[in-house]
Amino acid sequence: MSRPSTPVSLGIEVCFAIPTSPDQIERTVLELQAEVSELNVESVAVASAEHVRPGGKGDGLTLAGLAIAVVPELIGEVLKLLFDWVERDPTRTIKIKEKASGPEYEITGRWTAEQLAGVMKVLSKRDVK
């Protein structure tokens, strides 16, 4: 009998390249939260303000975030959803970071299959065999 996989905690920063109203920011993040929730992740919540760093020079405007806990087996589905979500509006990007200590990845458009496989490998490294 295999042991259940330990969920990976991901921090998601939503960045907008153009000024965006607070109402639009809230609607956008809540829509993304609802889409992620449909994947049956362990949890997804809007991140509190102290967990979202302000945008830096050339960094766009980081205005909102999500905290997602997902088992390694579903990371591919979550990443695909995030990629598709970014492609629907070229004015936004997403930064993904494993909360424990992992590297940070920025989604700005379609990645190659090799890039996606590399991110999935790093983020799912906690998978119990």
Predicted confidence (pLDDT) per residue in 13-61, tens digit: 888 888 888 888 889 999 999 999 999 999 999 986 544 555 444 445 6
What type of residue sits at position 76? G
Instruction: Share the mean pLDDT of the chain.
Output: 78
Q: What is the pTM of this model?
A: 0.77
pLDDT tens, position by position, 96-106: 887 766 667 77
Structure tokens at 82: 């995030």
**Residue 121: band (very low, low, confident or very high) from pLDDT cuts 50, 70, 90:** confident
* Cβ-based neighbour number of residue 2 at 10 Å: 6
Secondary structure element (H or E) that encloses residue 63, with its range = strand 61-70
What CA–CA distance (Å, rounded) separates 121 from 61?
29
Q: At 10, is the secondary structure helix, strand, or coil?
A: strand
The CATH number fitting domain 8-123, selected from 3.30.450, 3.10.20, 3.30.70, 3.40.30: 3.30.70
- Give the start-to-end residue ranges of the domains of the chain: 8-123
